[in-house]
Structure 1
Amino acid sequence: MKPRLFFLFKFYALLLLIFAFGKLLFMTYNGLEIHQAQGSDVFDVLIHGLPLDCATTGYLIAPLWLGLLLSLWWSFPLGKRLYQIYTAVVATLLALILLADTCLYEFWGIKLDGTIFNYIDSPKGATASVSTGYLIGVTIAFLVFSVLLFFAFRYIATRLQPMPTRIQTKGRGTLVFLLLGGLIFLGIRGGIGKSTANVGMVYYTDNTFLNHAAVNPAFSVISSAFKTKNYSKIHDYFPEEQRAAIFSSLGYNTQSIDSDTLLTMRRPNVLVILMEGCGATFVHAVDPEADPNVTPHLNQLAKEGILFSQCYANSFRTDRGTVCTFSGYPAFPDVSVMKMPSKCEKLSALSGALRQAGYATFFLYGGDINFTNTNGYLMATGYDKTYGDQTFTAEERLTHNWGVTDHITFDRLYQMVTTQPESQPWHIGFLTLASHEPWVVPYDRIPDDKVKNAMAYLDDCIGNFIQRFRQTPQWNNTLIVILPDHGIHYPAELTDVQTRTSHIPLIWTGGAVKEAREISTICNQTDLVATLLGQLGLPHDDFPFSRDVLSKSYTHPSAVHVWSEGIYYMDETGCSVLNLLTKPQSVFKEDPQPSVQRRDAANAFLQTCYDHLGSL
């Protein structure tokens, strides 16, 4: 049994060495200095990239592990031949992927992923910009590399001892291999956290090139292959000219013209608190049907600050709502843009715009920040530093099912905002987590309703934070934006068909707010970016789906919400809710009257969104 285990160890180690060599080749060929990196970064790339290397190695070693486990009980006369075939395939694919990733980066500037399959049908388009000599050189390198890998795999295949004959020996061997299989699976999964292995988990710096170097290209290709679609063909509802004409009439301009001024300064610190699930049904200041006793602090902040009372969430999940909030980018019924690293890297974001304007940028979350590629998205879109649950103690990480409960993270937030240097403005994004199933919080003000109680706990945390922050000198120079990532189905009879579900509070407070106001214009969560940048006098041309709702150019107030089954379009004439799953398309409801214009607007908007996603 020992030779079998030693063989697996050698195969595992060899694969890790191959992936390390691939990273060195990638960085050397594409140039560290060209990408503002240096030799000392190489070690960091290798260390941070190790989790995805282990995950990919686990996938590749799993068939061998299974074969050796079965060989404890049954003989395989063709085992050696099967091993040679398998390693020949692996050697060929690894050589192809590692070289393609290295060579294509200088042309594409993105990590190799599933989009490579789009060129299989038209290889001429993929090679049109390179010379024949270049292609010959790459082909020779591929052949040499694949042969070397094949013989390396062959070299480590030591002669295995015959399978054991004693039942006890077979039993012990089986137990050892099953335990080993558990470790392999753990590596494939990416650890024991809530997140599974994803590209974003190895992002560790604001240098995109180094993040790309840390990503295992084989993992990137495999993980994205099943997500790659021709998005421009999805929801192809109207002919192009008609789609363009309808969308143009919806007023998604990117101009700030004589925007109403809400702030006392042009460069305040900007804190965005993204509340988990706390929709308008818990905030009486926004929804008159809501219980006023649940969130008294939010109600008071809405009264003292600026309340956008007719704001609606674009989506129904945190990963989508985060992108909507910070990138001003729309949500989709069946696609999470956050989970698509190659798309995330092309998104603009509030953090990037503020960093370009001289802000220091940070993001805080008490949960697993690698979940749904959150960290990858945040690092790709302009955050200098992100802080997840691993920056808290082990004891603190056990205070909630999703990680660190809110009063602890609000304490960390307070430390962050009060210790930033005064010489540079800062932006901090903060995502809460305790107001989420299973609704278990260290708070019992509303014991007969655990959902309301969880929201009350969040409200209490916000109130305590604001009270403390108000006493500091930083308060006068800070704008605090408070909104949720999405609403929830509460009361339980609410669904996404009802607009109450997606109605959300959007509150601006802090010392940088000039005076209390209510803005009752219909708008979306995605409009935050353009509206905020407009207040700062910063351009927002890179946010085509975000509107400055305070601008005189905002002449067609509207809101869109999508979920897995449907979409609604709301404007000042009413709301139309469409069922996207039926063919032909049907209508859930329309209030107060049916409207062809609203239905066409919903379809043209969604078609435009998919077209834009396809172009990224």
Structure 2
Amino acid sequence: MNLKSLYNRYLVAICFFIGYLILATITRTILAILSIDKLDLSFYTSFIIFGKGFLFDIAIGFAFITFYIFYLTILPSKWIGKKIDIVLTYLILFLLFFVILFSSFSEFPFWDEFNTRFNFIAVDYLIYTYEVVENINQSYPIPSIVLVLLCCILLIFYLLKKNEIFKQVFSSKPKLSNRLSILFVYLLFLISLFSVLENKSAEWSSNIYQNELSKNGVFSFFAAFRSNELDYDLFYTKLDEKLAYKIVKSDLIASDEKFSSDNYDDISRVVTGKINEVTPNIILICIESLSADFLSEFGNAENLTTNINQLANEGIFFQNMYATGTRTVRGMEALTLCVPPTPGNSIVRRQNNDNLFSIATILKQKGYQLDFIYGGDGYFDNMNTFFGGQGFNIIDRDRGNPLSDKIVTTRTAIPDNEVTFENAWGICDEDTYKQALKRADFEATSNHPFFQFIMTTSNHKPYTFPDNKVNLKQGSREAAVKYTDYALGQFIKQAKTKKWYSNTVFVIVADHCASSAGKWEINVDKHHIPAIIYNLNTKNEKVDKLVSQIDLMPTLFGYLNWNYTSSFFGKDISKMKTSEQRAFLGNYRTLGLLEGITFTEINDRKKVNQYEWNAKNKILEPKRIHNDSSKNKTISYYQIASERFKNGKMEVKLINQH
């Protein structure tokens, strides 16, 4: 075997591999520097971060050159160095260099927004190309970036040629048998490496930043792609099913409620309201990324939310509300289905999610007309399919994407002549609210109350909106928050001029916080959101009870004195004792329950961790002695919520059979 000839033929592949390892290490180093204040740095943690990361980098480096190795192996010797070999080599290498450079560059804006390596969100973004491409185009100077990447590739080619590396590659003609031996050893090593490496093996620390830095972005992307949904039964700690149902049912039932049947797996219960039941119009406004810490109530001194502050003072203000997740679809899931966040994707994005027991079930029983109003294209994140499947009429910015065949409700496209401003995610909030006013005017002429679920978009990167609305420069989160607040204030002002206003209740709540990353798998403080019920015929109130997003609508139904049968996991908090308060918090893989200062989390490694939540200092401190009651309650809620969706027990037809 002529080793020199083999070495020369594979020399570019070797250079590419070494170059990728250097680039990946530089990327990790820069990300670490950007997050230096979030890390518990020591020689040991640095060694683990870069050591584990290097293993993932090796695996991805080998994976990147697999196709090129195949090419070098199978190309007949007589073609080596010919024009076809030169052209194909340059083409393959150009694509490889572009992909690794672009993916490395992409990690920085992704880290800036989500503080993680590529994950489920990146997979979602690959699917919804229009919104993502437009968002990138509006947020970053794409032509300049592409030009820089091309210049880098040309520089690499120049250096390879100058050092006569290409000359050696095109002049070496090792035997096919020797090349096949190299391919065999290469594939054996590659398969072995990927068989032992798992993305979750990088999750060695309680500090999520350190875990994410230990990963490789490309490896994480494909790991997320493979595990888009998680089966609770396979990955999480379980209790006996009957015991789990018993714990959940005992926690759900209120003093003035009774279960609909004696079946152990039937959580439906008859909710008894008062005699004077009222059915006002209801407008639920779900505001994009509105963290509690943007409000002056929670210490913000930038005066960003003057209108929301006023609404909070004039309505029922929930000071201790927590979002169930970190994505818009999680907020939608919590507000409509009133269910804890099951592992993997939100139910909004899953298959077989139509005709579920939801707030729509109760609203339709009360005679409401239902509208989902969204400034973007509701095809994104499966919103239209989900809301249409619950009986909502769809009003959105139709960009030509199809509505599922299952949807039997109507879809109305927002026309171009009614749009004054639009960016990647949709029309500005003011334009969205104009659609809501228009729809409300139309539906107010009927003899039925109406319900609107409005989803805003302006408080999202690239943070752009109409000019001359607020006194902050566009492009920053703070400016977007101030515009979001301005648009909401204008909407309420215009609604007050309508005849239907006096009989309309407004529910204002965030879908999730502006960011969720921190030193723990779940950061309690990064789930704290504001929520307001406004224009309800009751006294102003500040509610300091611990509230979950899933409790908001059942609590409103309680204020309206409604009698109905509920299969919600959410409860009317006005009926809760202090000891019964709780909030569900989760991400894709880790699920948690906050009770007072006790925070219990379960993860897909069948582990249970407990902490004490120090709200003043916003830190979690590990509990030395676990609270078994909280542990069992946490497991039970998530186990039963997952089981009910998986086995179709959340479907209205099955619930009615009980």
TM-score interval, normalised by the smaller of the two chains: 0.5 to 0.7
How much has 1:284 moved relative to structure 2?
2.6
Deviation readout 1:76-132 (Å, 9 max, x if unpaired): xxxxxxxxxxxxxxxxxxxxxxxxxxxxxxxxxxxxxxxxxxxxxxxxxxxxxxxxx
Distance 1:191 1:311, change over 3 A: closer
Q: Distance in 2 between matches of 1:409 and 1:321?
A: 19
| Alpha carbons 1:328, 1:527 under 8 Å: kept | yes
Q: Does 1:522 align with 2:546?
A: yes
How much has 1:387 moved relative to structure 2?
3.3
The answer for the alignment partner of 2:287 in structure 1 is 275
Distance 1:383 1:562, change over 3 A: same
Q: Structure 2 stretches of 5 or more lacking a match? A: 1-125, 134-224, 255-267, 400-412, 615-620, 649-658
Q: Distance in 2 between matches of 1:190 and 1:312?
A: 29
| Alpha carbons 2:273, 2:558 under 8 Å: kept | yes
Deviation readout 1:176-210 (Å, 9 max, x if unpaired): xxxxxxxxxxxxx99974499xxxxxxxxxxxxxx
| Alpha carbons 2:335, 2:549 under 8 Å: kept | yes
2:252 is paired with a residue of what secondary structure? coil
Q: Distance in 2 between matches of 1:439 and 1:557?
A: 36
The answer for the alignment partner of 1:438 in structure 2 is 462
The correspondence of residues 340-419 of structure 1 with structure 2, limited to 5 A, is 340-342=350-352, 344-389=353-398, 391-394=413-416, 396=419, 399-419=422-442
Q: Does 1:561 align with 2:623?
A: no
Distance 1:434 1:553, change over 3 A: same
| Alpha carbons 2:459, 2:477 under 8 Å: kept | yes
The answer for the alignment partner of 1:175 in structure 2 is none
Q: Distance in 2 between matches of 1:484 and 1:295?
A: 13
Q: Distance in 1 between matches of 2:588 and 2:634?
A: 15
Opposite residue 356 of structure 1, the aligned amino acid is Q
How much has 1:536 moved relative to structure 2?
3.4
The correspondence of residues 434-583 of structure 1 with structure 2, limited to 5 A, is 434-442=458-466, 443-447=469-473, 450-489=476-515, 497-510=522-535, 512-551=536-575, 556-572=580-596, 574-578=597-601, 580-582=603-605
Deviation readout 1:119-166 (Å, 9 max, x if unpaired): xxxxxxxxxxxxxxxxxxxxxxxxxxxxxxxxxxxxxxxxxxxxxxxx
Q: Distance in 1 between matches of 2:493 and 2:595?
A: 37
Opposite residue 505 of structure 1, the aligned amino acid is P
The answer for the alignment partner of 2:406 in structure 1 is none
How much has 1:238 moved relative to structure 2?
2.2
2:567 is paired with a residue of what secondary structure? coil
2:423 is paired with a residue of what secondary structure? coil
The correspondence of residues 29-108 of structure 1 with structure 2, limited to 5 A, is none
| Alpha carbons 2:317, 2:542 under 8 Å: kept | yes
1:364 is paired with a residue of what secondary structure? strand
| Alpha carbons 1:282, 1:295 under 8 Å: kept | yes
Opposite residue 613 of structure 1, the aligned amino acid is F
| 1:312 aligned to which of 301, 304, 322 | 322
Opposite residue 532 of structure 2, the aligned amino acid is I
If the length of structure 1 is used for normalisation, what is the TM-score? 0.57
Q: Distance in 1 between matches of 2:459 and 2:270?
A: 35
Q: Distance in 2 between matches of 1:521 and 1:600?
A: 22
The answer for the alignment partner of 2:404 in structure 1 is none
How much has 1:513 moved relative to structure 2?
2.9
Q: Does 1:293 align with 2:293?
A: no
Deviation readout 1:253-278 (Å, 9 max, x if unpaired): 666877699xx970100100011111
Q: Distance in 1 between matches of 2:519 and 2:277?
A: 41
The answer for the alignment partner of 1:603 in structure 2 is 635
| Alpha carbons 1:251, 1:556 under 8 Å: kept | no
1:238 is paired with a residue of what secondary structure? coil
Q: Distance in 2 between matches of 1:523 and 1:505?
A: 10
Q: Distance in 1 between matches of 2:482 and 2:229?
A: 41
Opposite residue 250 of structure 1, the aligned amino acid is D
Distance 1:192 1:447, change over 3 A: closer
Q: Distance in 2 between matches of 1:487 and 1:496?
A: 15
How much has 1:565 moved relative to structure 2?
4.5
2:440 is paired with a residue of what secondary structure? helix
How much has 1:330 moved relative to structure 2?
2.1
1:550 is paired with a residue of what secondary structure? helix
The answer for the alignment partner of 1:322 in structure 2 is 332
1:578 is paired with a residue of what secondary structure? strand
Distance 1:494 1:470, change over 3 A: farther
| Alpha carbons 2:612, 2:622 under 8 Å: kept | no
Q: Distance in 2 between matches of 1:550 and 1:375?
A: 33
2:580 is paired with a residue of what secondary structure? coil
Q: Distance in 1 between matches of 2:471 and 2:270?
A: 44
How much has 1:527 moved relative to structure 2?
1.1
Opposite residue 274 of structure 1, the aligned amino acid is C
| Alpha carbons 1:311, 1:522 under 8 Å: kept | yes
1:341 is paired with a residue of what secondary structure? coil
How much has 1:455 moved relative to structure 2?
1.0
1:532 is paired with a residue of what secondary structure? helix
1:419 is paired with a residue of what secondary structure? helix
| Alpha carbons 1:389, 1:403 under 8 Å: kept | no
| 2:278 aligned to which of 256, 266, 269 | 266
Q: Distance in 2 between matches of 1:473 and 1:358?
A: 20
| Alpha carbons 1:255, 1:548 under 8 Å: kept | no
Distance 1:257 1:290, change over 3 A: farther
Distance 1:258 1:553, change over 3 A: farther
How much has 1:337 moved relative to structure 2?
1.0
Deviation readout 1:15-63 (Å, 9 max, x if unpaired): xxxxxxxxxxxxxxxxxxxxxxxxxxxxxxxxxxxxxxxxxxxxxxxxx
| Alpha carbons 1:251, 1:554 under 8 Å: kept | no
| Alpha carbons 1:267, 1:425 under 8 Å: kept | yes
1:441 is paired with a residue of what secondary structure? coil
RMSD over equivalenced CA pairs, Å:
3.5
Distance 1:258 1:302, change over 3 A: farther
How much has 1:484 moved relative to structure 2?
1.0
1:576 is paired with a residue of what secondary structure? strand
How much has 1:230 moved relative to structure 2?
5.7
| Alpha carbons 2:327, 2:511 under 8 Å: kept | yes
The answer for the alignment partner of 1:302 in structure 2 is 312
Distance 1:246 1:190, change over 3 A: closer
How much has 1:524 moved relative to structure 2?
0.8
Opposite residue 470 of structure 1, the aligned amino acid is K
If the length of structure 2 is used for normalisation, what is the TM-score? 0.54
Count of aligned residue pairs for this structure pair: 394
Q: Distance in 1 between matches of 2:244 and 2:465?
A: 48
Opposite residue 521 of structure 1, the aligned amino acid is K
The answer for the alignment partner of 2:646 in structure 1 is 614
Deviation readout 1:463-496 (Å, 9 max, x if unpaired): 0111111122211100000001111227x86876
How much has 1:225 moved relative to structure 2?
12
The correspondence of residues 187-336 of structure 1 with structure 2, limited to 5 A, is 193-194=130-131, 231-251=232-252, 266-285=278-297, 288-291=298-301, 293-336=303-346
Opposite residue 301 of structure 2, the aligned amino acid is D
